Amino acid sequence: RRFLVGGDTGRAFQEEITRQARRRGIPVLFPLMDLEDQAALHFTDVWGNFRDSIVAASRRYQSEAILAGRLYRRQDGEWEGRWTLYSDAEPRFWSASAESLATVVAAGIDSSADSLARRFAQRAGGVAGQRVLLSVSAVHELKDYARVLGYLESIDAVERLQVARIEGDKVLFRLNLRGDGKGLRQAIAFGGALAPEIGMDGAAPGMDRQHEAVLTYRLLQ
């Protein structure tokens, strides 16, 4: 049976996609598949990956990016997924196959999250570089420290970093950015490794607020 996932249809697929997206910190909104959606978009539009129809039908949701996926089970029992991310002038394409649906969905979500993180980092590239302080808590072991360090170094928006202080389970990094802090925050939001600390005022003890902004995050285990 072929169907479009959304509304009350394809709940198992929605749950798996939501679970994988939450792992990467990506908010997901499925189409309502009400009368308006049904009139604007058909199964053949998505299966054929007709960009104009998909983008037009998605405008009502005012999303910054659109992920179109085609999932099906092959005769050999394996799942196959073909993914297209519409977020700028050029769409991005991925495909994956595996025995489990979770693996195929994870491949699509991970590739999308990585692409969006790079996009937000590049968007800030034309802005004069900014210095920020970034505090990361829940760094309990050496492997946690190595993980945070490697993750920050992998972000395109980060030009250079150094450790300013280690205090308890918190590490304070000084970052030189290629753009402004917005590009960094957007990249981190889509990365799924760090979560913003709720209720923090952004102050770093002993640091001069006049010269550097402070971002406060917690390492997700």
Instruction: Identify the CATH number of the domain in which residue 35 sits.
Output: 3.40.50
* Spatial contact of 188 and 157, defined as CB atoms under 8 Å apart: no
145 and 213 fall within a common domain: yes
What pTM, to 2 d.p., does this model score? 0.62
Beta strand residue intervals within the chain, DSSP E: 66-73, 79-86, 92-98, 131-137, 158-167, 170-177, 194-196, 213-219
User: Which of 61, 93, 123 represents a domain boundary (last residue)?
Assistant: 123
Residues 6+ apart with CB under 8 A from 73: 79, 80
Under 8 Å CB-to-CB from 81, ≥6 apart: which residues?
69, 70, 71, 95, 96, 97, 104, 105, 107, 108
State pLDDT tens for residues 21-38. Answer: 887 777 889 999 999 999
Total structural domains within the chain: 2
Q: Which residues, including other chains, have CB under 8 Å from residue 88's CB and lie 6 or more apart?
A: 119
Residue 1 in any domain: the answer is no
Note down the domain range covering 83.
11-123
Residues 113 and 15 in one domain: yes
pLDDT at 207: 45
Q: Let me know whether 145 and 177 are in one domain.
A: yes
Residues 62 and 118 in one domain: yes
Q: Collapsing DSSP states into helix, strand and coil, what is residue 26?
A: coil
- pLDDT(199) > 70: no
5 in a structural domain: no
pLDDT of residue 191: 75
- Please indicate, yes or no, whether residues 94 and 30 belong to a single structural domain of this protein: yes
Domain boundary among 123, 156, 179: 123
CB contact burial 29-51 (16+ within 10 A = b; e otherwise): ebbebeeebeebbeeebbeeeee
Q: Does 135 share its domain with 119?
A: no
Report the pLDDT value the prediction gives residue 211, as an integer from 0 to 100. 46
**163 lies in a domain?**
yes
Chain segment 39-62, per-residue pLDDT in tens = 999 999 999 999 999 999 999 999
Domain CATH code at residue 157: 3.30.70
Q: Collapsing DSSP states into helix, strand and coil, what is residue 85?
A: strand
Q: Percent of the chain, pLDDT > 90?
A: 57
Give me the pLDDT at residue 213, please: 66
State pLDDT tens for residues 146-160: 889 988 988 878 888
By mean pLDDT, which of 16-20, 52-56, 161-165, 188-192 is the weakest? 188-192
pLDDT value of position 115:
85
What DSSP letter does each residue of 168-219 carry, written as one string? TTEEEEEEEESS-HHHHHHHHHHHSSEEEPTT-----TT--TTT-EEEEEEE
Is the confidence at residue 20, as pLDDT, over 50?
yes
Tell which of 64, 95, 123 closes a domain.
123
**Partners of residue 70 on adjacent β-strands:** 82
What's 220's DSSP letter?
Answer: -
pLDDT surpassing 60 at residue 221 = yes
In a shared domain, residues 147 and 194? yes
Two structure tokens written together for 71: 């999932």
